[in-house]
A and B are shown apart, each in its own frame.
Chain A
C-alpha cells in the first residue's frame, strides 16, 4: 500500500521541476501503472519512494511507514526493479541474487530455498548458474526481478520493466506480475507503453511534465476523455502525443 501526497522534487536549485505535487495511491492486490512520456517524472517519483531521492515537499507512506523518517524500514518492505538492472557480470545469476539476500539479512537456508523457488517461477533454471556476462535483456530482467523479490516484499516497484524485451518474454513477465497481484502484493510499474497498462493495470496514473494528468481505471479514463480507445484518451489527457512511439 503506497500513498503519495503532493510530492514535489526540483533539480538544479529549483530551476528544473521534475515532479510537481504528485499524489496517488496504490493498493494491495492491485497493479498500478504510472503512465507517461519519457521525462515525465515517473522515475523521479519512484526514486523518492525507494528513498534514493528526498522530496522538496509533500508526504508519502509505504505500508504506513514514512520513507523520510525510516528509510531502512521502507527499503525492507519494498522490492525494486530499477531502470538500470546493474548485474555483476563476473558473478552467476544465483550469486547475484544471493548477494542481495545477504544484504537483506536473510539466512543462508532461506536464501537458497527462495532462489530455487524464484528460479522455477521465473523459468531461470537454464541459466541460474551461469555468469551473467552475455545474458540477454530478458534474462537480465528476470535476475533483477528475482533479486528484488528475494526478501518477499509486500510492495513491488518496477521501473520500465518491459524495456528491451521481446514479445514472448514480455508476455511471461505480464503473467508473473498478475500472479503477484493474485498473491495480494501491491505492484506499481512505470511505463510509457500504452498496451502495457491496458493489459495489466487495475489503476492508471497518467503523469505528464511532472504533474498528474489523470488517475483512475481504464474505463474511467475513457469516460473522462470522451474517447473510445486508451491511446487517444492518453493523448488527449496529456495534451500532446510526445513519447508515445514505443
Chain B
C-alpha cells in the first residue's frame, strides 16, 4: 500500500505538467480570480461613491437657485446634450437632469415644481448615480419646505411623523464575510483540482498504459492497491488545499479591504482551521474522482468526466449565494454544504459551534470512507481491468 503510494507520488512528481497544473495553477486559481473580483468590486464602489457627480442639466436657466445650490454641493454641472434621451440611450451619459420651463411658475405658485431625471434604470451601474441625484434633490426639497413652513410659523418637525433609523449590527468583519461568500467555493474547488489529475492518471491512465494488468498480478489484495492510489490522490488534494489557503491569506493581505470598510478575517489561524474542516473533503473528492475515472477507458474520456464533476462543489456554494439563509444544524450534516457554511462562519469571525465542527468532520469523513470503500472494490470487476483490444 505504502509502496503504491510512494510510486504514484514519484511517478507524478516527475511529470512537470502535473506539478505545474496541480501544485501551482491549482492553488493560485482561486485566490487570483477571487482577488481580482474583490479589488474590482472595491474600486468600483469607492469610485462611484466618492468621485464628484457630473450632471448634465437641460434648462438650467429655469432654476438658477437650484443649480447654484447643486454646484455648492460639489456637483459639476455640465452643458446638456441636444438630445438627452438619445445621449442616455447610447450610454454617453448615465443621468441627465431636465428642468422644464414651467418650473419657475409652479415654484412661485407654491405647487410641486416638476423636474425630470432621465436615466435607463435597466442598466445596473446607473443605480448609484440615480440615487445620488435623488438624494441631492431630496435634501434641497427638504430645506426649502422647512423654510416655507417656518415662514408660516409651523414647526418643520410636524412633517416628519416618523423618524426611521437603521441600527446596523454588522461588524466590519461580518461585512467582509458577505463579500467572501464566494470564498468557500474557491477553497473547495482546490481539493477537486488537486485530485483531478492524480485520479485520472492512477486509474484511467494506468489502464491506457496497460500497466494495470501486470500491476494486479502482484500478490496483494486489490483494495490495497486502490488504497495506495487513493492516498496519493488525497495527498495531492491536501497539498493543493494547503498551498491554496496560504495563497489566499497572502492575496487577502494585499487587497485594499480597509477602503471597503470591511476587515477580512483570513489569517493563518483561520486558514489552519479551514484546512482541518476541508481535509475530509479532500478524501471525498479523491474517491469521487477516482471512481469516475476508473470507468473511463482512456485518459481523454476520464478528463471529459472531470469537467462535469467540477460542478459538484459549486452546487452548495451557489445555493448559499442565491438563498443566503441562516446556517442551521441539519446543514452541517451535508458534506460540501457544511464546509461552505463553516468557512463562512469562520471568515465572519463568529465563534465556531463545536457540535457543528464535529458534524462537519464526521459526516464528510463518513461519506468519504463510503466512497473510498466503493473505489476499493472496483478492481474486483474484470471489466475494469482489461482494455478491450
Contacts and interface: CB of A to CB of B under 8 A. Distances in A.
A21 B219 CA distance: 27
Nearest to A150: B218
Interface stretch (B172-180, B186-194, B206-214, B342-350): B206-214
B15 A80 contact: no
Interface in B8-59: 10-12, 14-15
29 contacts: A50-B217, A52-B213, A52-B216, A52-B217, A52-B385, A52-B386, A73-B219, A74-B219, A75-B217, A76-B219, A80-B214, A80-B217, A82-B214, A82-B217, A84-B211, A84-B213, A86-B209, A87-B209, A88-B209, A88-B211, A89-B209, A90-B11, A90-B12, A95-B10, A103-B3, A104-B218, A105-B219, A105-B220, A147-B214
Interface of A: 50-53, 72-76, 78, 80, 82, 84-91, 95, 99-100, 102-105, 131, 144, 147-148
A51 B12 CA distance: 29
Contacts of A131: 14
Nearest to B221: A72
B210 A52 contact: no
A52 B212 CA distance: 11
A90 B385 contact: no
A170 to B, nearest CB: 21
Contact of B210 (A76, A86, A104): A86
Interface string B350-389: 0000000000000000000000000000000010011100
Given A85-B210, A91-B14, A102 B3 contact: yes
A227 to B, nearest CB: 34
A198 B382 CA distance: 34
B204 interface: no
A74 B218 CA distance: 10
A23 B382 CA distance: 23
A147 B3 CA distance: 15
A104 B209 contact: no
B215 interface: yes
A172 B52 CA distance: 88
A84 B219 contact: no
Contacts of A80: 214, 217
B4 interface: yes
B219 A86 contact: no
A39 to B, nearest CB: 12
A75 B214 contact: no
Contacts of A89: 209
A116 B216 CA distance: 24
Query: In the complex, which of the residues A50, A73, A99 has the most CB atoms of chain B within 10 Å of its own CB atom?
Result: A99
Closest 7 CB pairs of A and B: A86-B211, A84-B210, A102-B3, A75-B219, A90-B14, A103-B218, A76-B219
Contacts of A73: 219
A55 to B, nearest CB: 12
B135 to A, nearest CB: 65
B132 interface: no
Nearest to B211: A86
Nearest to A79: B217
Contacts of B218: 75, 100, 103-104
A53 B206 CA distance: 19
B89 interface: no
B155 interface: no
Contacts of A50: 217
Contacts of A88: 7, 11, 209, 211
A74 B211 CA distance: 20
Nearest to B6: A102
Contact of A144 (B10, B12, B214): B214
A99 B212 contact: no
A100 B219 CA distance: 10
A159 to B, nearest CB: 10
Contacts of B11: 88, 90-91
A72 B220 contact: yes
Contacts of A85: 210, 214
A112 to B, nearest CB: 15
Contacts of A75: 217-219
